Amino acid sequence: MSKKDLYNEAVELLSSLIATPSLSKEEGKTAVLLAGFLKSHGVEEVHQQQYNLWAFNKHYNPKLPTLLLNSHHDTVKPNAGYTRNPFEASIEDGKLFGLGSNDAGGCLVSLIATFLYFYERQELKYNLVLAATAEEEISGQNGIESILSQLGDLEVAIVGEPTEMHLAVAEKGLMVLDCTARGKAGHAAREEGINAIYEALPDIQWFQSYTFPKVSEHLGPVKMSVTVVQAGTQHNVVPDTCAFTVDVRLTDAYTMEEVLETIQQHVKADVKPRSMRLRPSSIPLEHPLVQAGISMGRKTYGSPTTSDQALLPIPSLKMGPGFSGRSHMADEYIYLHEIEEGIKLYIELLEKVIV
């Protein structure tokens, strides 16, 4: 199939995906759609677990390293600002409108087209495995993480997210902390009790002012933000607890454990992480995928947003058509030329590495 045919098929598939609601945890219909598309285009065996799909190249060789092509088919809920039907694919002025068109439908269909381009090729240096996964938008446990053991011995991954086809060689991790400062209840009219809000203030100020000494080359400093504070039940009672939430954006300069230990050493409040799953990720600049992208004139950068890259325990490159600033916006769209360029550049990148 020619690249032009692959592009036309990709646009048609994306239009069908847009018209098929696939909110996180509700991706069943798009899973059926994607499996049918792959089988109708000659993919002999499509595997499925819950709403995750994956397929290997036709001449898979277990002696070779495996390169994962991954993107997601779930979407966020359409926000209230939509002026169009979010589930109606429409093309105007070279833009394809619809929920999930930019995040990450354009990436997904471009990767599928790329997989089909190489599917029957023999004597590749890498195996290819395509994974169209669920629950990315909620970092759910029934997404990419749940099928990793079935994808073979993965060496590296390309994660399809809108980067304008530039090379996100590092991505910040996320750790949400639930903190509780404790005091002693008392009547506000008398000199009694220990106000938990006042106990929390030095910790909150520490989160505001502390700077981790090591700074990542691509991701900058670790960033901590107190985002929610809850305390008290009524005006005349000294609160005995003050709960606050901290959003911590991690870099590849520290492990999650190192950051958590530093925090626990400096604050008085009880500190409990909600999860240690969404780790910072990166790929060495000298990796052949990165070097191939650089040779094609693509720029390298560090991404502040999280994706399924955080759940992959291997080097990974985030790269895809579309612009991150359009993700989750009302009247979401992707340019048709971005999909065409995405397929072309994905293929060119892989030809430099796996052929």
What's the pLDDT tens digit per position in 94-108?
Answer: 999 999 999 999 999
Question: What's the distance, CA 349 to chain centroid?
Answer: 21
Whole-number pLDDT of residue 305:
86
CB-CB contact of 137 with 75 (8 Å): yes
β-bridge mates for residue 223, sequence order? 249
CATH topology of domain 173-273: Alpha-Beta Plaits (3.30.70)
CATH topology of domain 3-171+280-352: Aminopeptidase (3.40.630)
CB-CB contact of 349 with 296 (8 Å): yes
For every residue of 150-214, DSSP letters joined together read GS-SEEEEEE---STT-EEEEE-EEEEEEEEEE-B-EETTTT-SB-HHHHHHHHHHHHHH---S-
Whole-number pLDDT of residue 304:
87
Whole-number pLDDT of residue 184:
96
Return d(Cα 165, Cα 114) in angstroms, integer.
Answer: 14
Q: Of 56, 282, 63, which is closest to residue 151 (Cα–Cα)?
A: 56
Write the pLDDT tens digit of every residue in 237-291: 999 999 999 999 999 999 999 999 999 999 999 999 999 999 999 999 999 999 9
Whole-number pLDDT of residue 191:
82
3-state secondary structure 224-243: EEEEEEEECCCCCEECCEEE
Q: Which of left, alpha, beta for 50 (phi over 0: left; psi -120 to 50: alpha)?
A: left
Q: Where are the domains positioned within the chain?
A: 3-171+280-352, 173-273
Q: Of 42, 18, 309, which is closest to residue 170 (Cα–Cα)?
A: 309
In the chain, which residues have pLDDT < 70? none
CA distances (Å), origin 114, targets 189, 220, 272, 274:
71, 33, 43, 37
Write the pLDDT tens digit of every residue in 69-81: 999 999 999 999 9
Which residue is it, tokens 């400096």?
A: 266
Return d(Cα 286, Cα 288) in angstroms, integer.
Answer: 6
Of how many residues is the chain composed?
A: 355
Whole-number pLDDT of residue 33:
98
For every residue of 310-350, DSSP letters joined together read GG-SS-EEE--SS-GGGTT-TT-EEEHHHHHHHHHHHHHHH
The tokens of 312 are what?
A: 């992959």
